[in-house]
Amino acid sequence: MRCWSAVNIYWYWPFPHRGENALALGLLRPDDHLTVHSLASRFGEQLTGTSVRYDIRRELPEPRPRSRGSVRWLGSRALTYSERAGRRLRAVRGGGFDICHIHSLNYFTDGIALAPLHRHAAVVSSVNDVVPHERRIPHAVENRLLSVLYRQAGHLVVYHERLRTQLHDEFGVGRDRISVVPHPVLSAQPPADGSVTNGAPTVLFFGTFRRNKGIRVLLDAIRRLDGLAEVRFVFAGRGDADLERAVREAAASDRRIEADIRYIENDERAKLYRRADLVVLPYTAFASQSGVLADAYAYHAPILATDVGAVGDTVRDDGTGWVIDPGDPEALAAGIQRALADDEGRRAARSSAAAAAERQSYPAVAARLRAIYRSVLDLPKETGK
């Protein structure tokens, strides 16, 4: 039976993010080796000043810019995804890897493309979205593709028990093939006094502007809050052009609304969260866990969220804020007003978010992921680092 040392790990992660280094640091041991396969344009640096080996191969292709939904757009994407799958297979086939962890699944291609990987390594896959947030093909066809995908995706990792239940109930995946690992939370510097109000209270919407994010519902709710004259509503991020336009128009006609529509760098993101008295997640449809929620935890920010995906359950379970029904601007307006008036409730939510952030730190999550790898490889439990 092998020991943990000298385990060779491959991560297929086209879109690595700022937490990648922290996860790798918590996961790896001195004799391990990790290769991250990502898009050529994506950031991420090799670890330095440590005893672990960590390489990044920035070579995965990206689709050419095309009009969304056009025949050329579809063709470009099909060719790109096929090429990515081919490069992934060649990397795993020739790399001598023990674990192949797919961090980003594509249900159009991976139902077929993942099958050959099992001949070369133990396959683990992160399921970020059990079903797509926006469905583009007939429901029956999509479910068939997803069913095939999950059969081929090896051991599955999800962010919440609710997502494991959804995989089991809707796609027949055995619970023993699914592990729950919470969304990791980066170490951050929250407001020192646990309260950030300095003048007008600030309500923050942060993230990609997509139709399922409830932006129009939030704008409608703000209009219903005309009595809250001193509240600031900050929209930060970018995305669909029509939603960007709607936020800009709202900001032009309502002095309480601030539109910060651009890519937000990490230091600017930190300032936004530290200024926030309340973070709103008014999503109308969601099939996963939210990275925005993890960011809010990092800065110990109180949360008002809708009951979609794993978001509502997480906020309720952790005691980090308030949960309302999705798609209801009146309920959203009332929820914002109630949360801003509840100073004690927000302090309690901040304290709970701090505790959740500690439980979901990158070292803690990395330890759980490492234990999954050991189980998949049928290795003994570790007795120490």
Instruction: For residue 131, give Cα distances in angstroms to 142, 224, 293.
Output: 9, 33, 19
Position with higher pLDDT, 24 vs 76: 24
Residue 291 and residue 312: Cα distance in Å, rounded? Answer: 14
Residue 281 and residue 304: Cα distance in Å, rounded? Answer: 6
What does the pLDDT read at residue 169? 95
Average pLDDT, the chain: 88
* CB of 327 closer than 8 Å to CB of 320: no
What does the pLDDT read at residue 353? 96
Digit-coded pLDDT (tens) for 347-358: 999 999 999 999
Residue 345 and residue 336: Cα distance in Å, rounded? Answer: 12
Digit-coded pLDDT (tens) for 292-306: 999 999 999 999 999
* CB of 221 closer than 8 Å to CB of 304: no
- Least confident range from 5-14, 105-114, 207-216, 330-339: namely 5-14
Identical topology for domains 8-184+361-376 and 202-359: yes
Position with higher pLDDT, 362 vs 198: 362
Residue 183 and residue 364: Cα distance in Å, rounded? Answer: 11
Band (137; pLDDT cuts 50, 70, 90)? confident
What does the pLDDT read at residue 49? 46
The stretch 253-263 carries a mean pLDDT of 96
What does the pLDDT read at residue 155? 98
The stretch 319-342 carries a mean pLDDT of 97
Digit-coded pLDDT (tens) for 88-135: 999 999 999 999 999 999 988 999 999 999 999 999 999 988 988 777
Ordered by start, the domain boundaries in the chain are 8-184+361-376, 202-359
Position with higher pLDDT, 199 vs 345: 345
Class of domain 8-184+361-376: alpha beta
Band (369; pLDDT cuts 50, 70, 90)? very high
Residue 115 and residue 290: Cα distance in Å, rounded? Answer: 29
Give phi and psi for 279, each to the nearest 5: -105, 125
Position with higher pLDDT, 54 vs 74: 54
Is the torsion defined by CA of 27, 32, 38, 42 positive or negative? positive
In the β-sheet with 33-39, what is the strand arrangement from edge to edge? 53-60, 33-39, 8-12, 99-102, 122-126, 155-158, 178-180
Residue 262 and residue 221: Cα distance in Å, rounded? Answer: 23
Digit-coded pLDDT (tens) for 204-231: 999 999 999 999 999 999 999 988 889 9
- Least confident range from 18-27, 82-91, 200-209, 281-290: namely 18-27
Is the torsion defined by CA of 113, 89, 38, 7 positive or negative? positive
Q: Which CATH superfamily is domain 202-359 in?
A: Glycogen Phosphorylase B; (3.40.50.2000)
What does the pLDDT read at residue 136? 72
Q: What is the dihedral of CA 171, 172, 174, 179, to 10 degrees?
A: 20
What does the pLDDT read at residue 78? 79
Residue 124 and residue 118: Cα distance in Å, rounded? Answer: 10
